[in-house]
Chain A
Amino acid sequence: MLANLTNVTKRYVRTEGIRDLTLQFPAGEVVGVLGLNGSGKSTMLKILAGLLMPSEGVAAVFDGPPRRNRARVVYLGETDALWTWMTPADAEKFMAGLYEDFDVARFRELLGSLEVPLRKTKAMSKGERGRLRLAMALARSARLYLLDEPLAGIDLLSREKILTSIVKEWHTDETILLSTHEVAEAEALFDRVIFLHKGRLALDARAEQLRSEGRSVVDAFREVLS
Chain B
Amino acid sequence: MSSLTRFRTLMWLEARRSWVWGVALIGSLAFWAWGMHQVSFVDPGEQLGVRAAILLVASGIGGLVLCLMIGRIRSETRHGQYQVLLLTPPSGYLHTLARFTFVGMVAVAYYITIGGLAWWAIAQAGLQLDAGSAAQLMLVCPLYGVGLAMLPALAWTLLLMVFVSSYRVSGPGWVPGTVMVLATPFLGSWISEGIWKVSYRLPSWRLFEGLRAAINTAAWEAEVEGFQGVFSLPQEPLWIMLAISAVMLAVAGRIWQEVEG
Contact = CB atoms under 8 A, between A and B. Distances in A.
A and B associate in one complex: yes
Interface of B: 1, 5-6, 8-10, 12-13, 16-17, 79-81, 83-84, 86-90, 169-172, 257-258, 260-261
Interface residues of A, number: 30
21 contacts: A13-B170, A49-B87, A51-B260, A52-B260, A67-B257, A70-B89, A71-B89, A77-B84, A80-B80, A81-B84, A86-B16, A90-B16, A94-B9, A94-B13, A97-B8, A97-B9, A98-B88, A98-B89, A99-B88, A99-B89, A100-B1
Contacts of A73: 87
B81 A77 contact: no
A77 B83 contact: yes
A125 interface: no
Contacts of A86: 16
Interface of A: 11-13, 46, 49-53, 55, 67, 70-71, 73, 75, 77, 79-83, 85-86, 90, 93-94, 97-100
Contacts, number: 70
A97 B89 contact: no
Contacts of A67: 257-258
Given A75-B87, A81-B79, A99-B89, A52 B16 contact: no
Most buried by A among B81, B84, B172, B257: B84
A83 B12 contact: no
A67 B89 CA distance: 9
Nearest to B8: A97
Sorted nearest first, the 9 A-B pairs with minimum C-beta distance are A97-B9, A81-B80, A79-B80, A71-B89, A100-B1, A51-B261, A98-B88, A81-B84, A70-B87
Contact of B12 (A50, A70, A77, A97): A97
B83 to A, nearest CB: 6
A79 B83 contact: yes
B17 A12 contact: no
Nearest to A51: B261
Nearest to B170: A12
A211 B27 CA distance: 66
A51 B86 contact: yes
Contact of A77 (B8, B80, B257, B258): B80
Nearest to B167: A13
A98 B87 CA distance: 11
Nearest to A49: B87
A93 B9 contact: yes
A191 B260 CA distance: 31
A100 B89 contact: yes
B17 A83 contact: yes
- Of the listed residues B10, B87, B89, the one surrounded by the most CB atoms of chain A closer than 10 A to its CB is B87
